[in-house]
Amino acid sequence: MLELIVGFFGELLLQLVLEVLAELGLRSVRESFRPQPNPLLALIGYLLLGLVAGGLSLVLAPRFLVAPDLRVPNLAFAPVLAGLAMTAFGAWRARRGDELVRIERFLYGYCFALAIAAVRFRFAA
């Protein structure tokens, strides 16, 4: 049972770390892209970034961190929790008066994490 919990939270933590790194990267290049992009194009961009991050995560952790029978539940629930965590992170930043980036909203954070989870679901050993 402990192995299941640790594995699930390991996968979730991996997604969150990659999301935070993406968020920091987006903040650093935001000044170059001052006009707000189309929300649909931004969503597609986050999905593509998530696919790339998922591929990179396979270099860091090539083996799936949860048991094989929990891959589908992980694919369903970890991105939701990662999206909620990014929403909470965005709310915290907003309270501090910081400007938000799109990944700090649930839909964008969820889609980014879902793309990571999908790559890992398909390709992790």
85 touches 106 (CB < 8 A): no
The better pLDDT of the pair 64, 106 is held by 106
Of 50, 17, 44, 41, the C-alpha closest to 119 is 50
pLDDT of residue 36: 66
Phi–psi pair at 14, nearest 5 degrees? -60, -45
pLDDT of residue 73: 92
Tokens encoding 40:
């649909």
pLDDT digit string, tens, across residues 16-71: 888 887 877 676 555 445 566 678 878 888 888 889 899 999 998 899 888 888 89
Coil vs helix vs strand at 103: helix
